[in-house]
Each structure stands twice: as structure tokens, then as C-alpha cells.
Amino acid sequence: MSAGAYERAYRRSLEDPEGFWAEAAQAVTWERRWDRVLDASAAPLYRWFAGGVLNTCYNAVDRHVAAGRGEQAAVIYDSPVTGVVQRITYAELQRRVAQFAGALRGLGVTAGDRVILYMPMVPEALVAMLGCARIGAIHSVVFGGFAPQELATRINDARPRVVVSASCGIEGRRVIPYKPLLDEALRRSTASPEHCLILQRPLAAAELQPGRDLDWHATVAAAAPAECVPVAATDPLYILYTSGTTGIPKGVVRDHGGHAVALLWTMKNIYNVSAGDVYWAASDIGWVVGHSYIVYGPLLAGCTTVLYEGKPVGTPDAGAFWRVIAQHGVKALFTAPTAFRAIKREDPDGTLLQKYDLRGFEALFLAGERCDPDTLKWAQERLGVPVIDHWWQTETGWAIAGNCTGLERLTVKPGSPTKAVPGYDVRVLDEAGDEVPRGQSGNLCIKLPLPPGCLPTLWNNDRGYIESYLTRYPGYYLSGDAGYQDEDGYLYIMSRIDDIINVAGHRLSTGGMEEVLASHPDVAECSVIGVADALKGELPLGLVVLKAGVTRPHADIVRELVQMVRDRIGAVAAFKQAVVVQRLPKTRSGKILRGTMKRIADGTEYKTPATIDDPAILGEIGAALRTIGYAQRSNG
């Protein structure tokens, strides 16, 4: 780590991308070296490491055993909801994965076939992902407990040969039977997998359908282990569905070669972890963070990855994260800002932190949605380590902007995910496609080609990929986020493009207003949405959740919030209303459902998102908004 190391790496990545990534690729074990580092022959559809051959599972598991580290822990499974802690060595993981891959092969699955995984946070989920990669099958993980219709649409699009699931998952203290949801999804789908492989968990047994459903343990035990199958670097490793604006999910594709190179590079250069270090991404395998940083990234780097089946609060308390860090010697934690807002709300003084020894803990990384400066400062003050926001998307698979602590630890600016990561040429464009001056907001775009590890296309939908991401600004990838770059080159991601509101002709960022609200001493978390207004087009409306123990009159707090926005942003924001709510509606990955709240406030029909953590919250939001004159019409 040296002064200027970041700038040198960044400049080289843009001036000589092929040389930069060819050098990074030396850390990966290849069956056959690539012919071209970057294949631009079908631009704007680019391919990295064309002609190269490798196996992702070999790189993530077998090569560490071959290097003599088979007895090192590969996975620590920590499940406070079941009271189980289990350490799985690389040698044991290799055995389990080979056996599972053999079971898939015995069911007729070969390279290029799709396998849908509808699994809870258990070691078998990682084994299934790696088992698919081992034989070249393409996995598509669907978050366990997703609604049947959403699962059905993914089955229809991926057309899997096998579905792998479990009898149940556990959400907090609730046991969620998965099998009835899977059965209903299969009834609704037009594609019919040949088999469903079901992991029976002790908390809730599933009824198996003869002929179609198979017991995981019996089937895997009877299988012959499978060796790693070499595949092309440009072949798909997985499909991960993300919500589309049309309501039809988009199947983001990740390839083998670019993915392995990029993720392995990030582990040392962004997160500053190496083989043998304990790394924890407190996410879910159903999300891109789980794919990249619970499974593939840490294992490619030879780290020990923590698989946590629990919550930041309630399993059993707001000290859960500190217990895991202390017990397992976690060096770096990656989670969503919403997790820390939940901890801060329950334990605002950080009292529970005092029970644990966190001396080996070096850095906290936040991503998933913008981290408000107040939450970042709260975590910094209590943990005494760097707290680093970074920005990325399902589509990119790894950070677009971040503080590359393994290269050079840059100054943290609260509210900013720091600078563009090497490989990403980020530009801020106006509606006409021209770059805007530093400090001025616009649409955040990335000059093509995207670096390795990003999506090369959508599953069976090149045209949809080009139309969704590459058409609005030719030569650029449209991120869908809005923000600006300051004089030092730091990026600020203020909102989704759709969350820019137009108040009497003034384009205003809801993220800027949320930053002000979050700085109020009584506010645990907040959201600002734009609601329809006959005179000004839109007006901002704040929804705030108070910290535990706050007893002051809500009207007093709202008056203070309105004045704070007026003082810091100005009268132009026209911020005049806020309402206190018990909680905000979120996806299971922690993103606040601003669009759904806007539709509730405007009284327009809305569809309950499949990704919502708890649908009952929407009724609570509607009731709260009606107290201040919104959400008057019934919704469907």
C-alpha cells in the first residue's frame, strides 16, 4: 500500500485495460490461456478473455486443497436461529461439492444446463452453487421464500433441468415452508424441470412428489463424485434475476473468466484481505452480494467466508453482529446501511458493543443503497475502524466506486463511496449526453467497455440488454443512478434517476434531503419521496423512523425537520411535510421501496413487490399517510 498507488492503478486501467486485466488474470488458474483479453468484435457486446478455458469451482475450492491448505476453514456457518455453528474445511467443501455435482450429473445435468436454487442460508446452498460451477451447469439462485408467481417467471425464463430447494427457511423467529411455494410456482409455470432435489430440514419436513421430487441426502449419498469440467471463459456461470421496469425480471448473466479475474482482484485491492483471513458479507445468497462476497470472492481468494443465518437485530439482540465478529475473528465485514440503521435504532449508544473483543476487526464496508453520513459517523465512532461506503449494482457484480484499501486508503468523505474503482470510467452526463461540470448533478454512466465481471448481456436477450442499458447514451452504460463528482473526483450517488423530483421546474435529489433528515438526533432512518402536486408538479414528503426510546411529540420533531431542510437546502426544496412511521418498507436486501410508497401517497394502484420483506408494512404506511391527507384512494 503506497501513496499514489490508487491513482496509478486507475490511470493504467483506463489507458491500458487489456494489459491491466491480463496482469490480474495471472492470479487465476487457467486450463487454457485466452486468445484475446478483450473481444470487441460484436461491440457493444464485449467479451473478456475470449478463447480462455478454466473452471470456477477449481479456482474457488480445489486449488486451495492442492496448495496444501485443505484443513483451513473455508466456510463458517453461524445460525443463531437454529443454534448451530459449523466449520467446513476446504477439503471437506471439496468433498461435498464433488459429491453434489455427481448427483446433478446423475440426474442428467450437463454443461450449459440451468439449475434453479431456491434455498435458505445453509451450507448446502453454497455447495449447490459450486456444484453447478464444477460441471459447467448454469445456476440461477432465487431468494428463498419468493412468491410463487415470481419464482414461476424465473423458471419460465431459465427453463431449468433441475430445481434445488429445501423444506423450509427461517426468517427471524418464523419458519417459512418452501415446498408449498415451490409446488405452486411449478403449477403456474410453463417450463417443467425433470426433478426437484429437496433438502429436508428438521424444523419442517416437506412432502415429496413421487417421481419428480428427490431427497437431497439420499440422492447425493448415492452419487459418484464429479471432477471439474473445463469451460470457456465466456460461458455463463450464473443468471441472477433483477426486477425490470416492465415487471418482467431481467436475467443478468455472469461469465466464468471475467468474473473470476475481477472478484479475485477485488478481495485484496478493495477489501484488503488475503488467503486465511476471515471475511463476512452479511447478506443473502439470493442477492448479488451473496454471490460475489459470500461465495465466490472469498473462496477464490482462499479466505474463510462466514455464512450467517440470522438478522442484525432480534437474533437475539442488536449485538448479534459484534458477537459474530468477535467469535470468528472477522477481519472485514460487508453489509447494507439498513442493517446498521437497525442496530443504531435498537442500541443508539452502542452499549452491546462493549461486551465483545473486536481488536482483530479492521474495516466495515457498506453497500446496497446510499449510506447517509449520520449512520457512517455513528459506526465510525463506535467501532473505531474505517467505515467505507461503496457503490455497485447487480449488473456490475462488484464495486463501481469504492475506497480501494488494499491499494491505498483514501480519505473518507461521509456521503461519498469515494472514487471510481480501477476499470470503471464513470462520467456524469446531462439529458443531452454532455458531461456536466464538477459539482453538478446528472446521470451516472460508465464509458464502454465495462470491466471484467460485469454483465456481458441478459439471458437470451441481447436486444433487451442493449435497449435497457446502452441505448440512451451510445458508447455508455446507463447506471440508472443520479449524482455528481466533486472537485477531488469523489462520487456522490444521490438517488435513482427516477427519484429525482421536479419541484416547480427545479430538479432536486431526494437523497440530499434524506441526508438532512438523517442528521436529526431523534431519527433512526428516513426516506423522502416526491408526491404529486397540482401546482408545483411534485412536492417532497419525508417518512421518518425514530430511535428507540424517543418520547418527544412527533409534531415538534416534524417542525424541526422542516426547518433543517429549509436551512440546509433552501426554500426551493419546498419541504413542508413529514410523517413519523414505525418502519419503512424494504426489500430483503435492505433497499427502501420508495416507488411503492410514492404510489401509496399518490393514491394510485400499486403491486406488492415480490422482494418486500414484510407486506404488512404497506398497510401501516398507507394509514400513516392518510393522517396527513395522502393515500386517500384505495389501492390494488
Domain CATH for 90? 3.40.50.12780
| 125-139: pLDDT as tens digits | 999 999 999 999 999
Is the residue at 334 inside a domain?
no
H or E element that contains 388:
strand 387-389
Domain boundary among 419, 449, 483: 483
Clarify whether residues 145 and 281 are in a common domain.
yes
Quote the pLDDT of residue 253: 98
Quote the pLDDT of residue 173: 82
Clarify whether residues 76 and 196 are in a common domain.
yes
Clarify whether residues 109 and 142 are in a common domain.
yes
Is the residue at 364 inside a domain?
no
Clarify whether residues 72 and 196 are in a common domain.
yes
Clarify whether residues 469 and 517 are in a common domain.
no
Distances (CA, A) of 293 to 255, 284, 466: 16, 10, 27
Taking the C-alpha atoms of residue 117 and residue 115, their distance in angstroms, rounded to an integer, is 6
Give me the residue label for grid cell 467505515. Answer: 387
Buried b (16+ CB within 10 A) or exposed e, 486-496: eeeebbbbbbb
| 227-236: pLDDT as tens digits | 999 999 999 9
Neighbours of 344 (CB within 10 A): 22
| 242-251: pLDDT as tens digits | 865 445 679 9
Clarify whether residues 30 and 172 are in a common domain.
yes
Clarify whether residues 471 and 516 are in a common domain.
no
The beta-strand segments (E) located in 12-81 are 36-39, 47-50, 53-54, 73-79
Clarify whether residues 427 and 517 are in a common domain.
no
Clarify whether residues 75 and 171 are in a common domain.
yes
Domain boundary among 432, 451, 483: 483
Is the residue at 351 inside a domain?
no
Quote the pLDDT of residue 247: 53
What nine digits make up the cell of 590? 435492505
Domain boundary among 416, 450, 483: 483
Quote the pLDDT of residue 32: 98
Low-confidence residues of the chain, pLDDT below 50?
245-246, 634-636
Distances (CA, A) of 37 to 17, 18, 21, 269: 9, 6, 8, 21
Quote the pLDDT of residue 370: 75
Residue 442 in 3-state DSSP? strand
Quote the pLDDT of residue 636: 40
Quote the pLDDT of residue 605: 86
Quote the pLDDT of residue 506: 62
Clarify whether residues 469 and 610 are in a common domain.
no
Per the structure, the count of domains in the chain is: 2
Clarify whether residues 89 and 201 are in a common domain.
yes
Which residues lie across from 608 on neighbouring strands? none
What residue numbers bound the domain in which 466 lies? 5-310+390-483
H or E element that contains 20:
helix 17-24
What CATH number is attached to the domain comprising 617?
A: 3.30.300.30
Clarify whether residues 214 and 283 are in a common domain.
yes
Is the residue at 374 inside a domain?
no
**Could you tell me where the DSSP H helices lie in 42-169?**
56-57, 63-66, 90-106, 123-135, 148-158
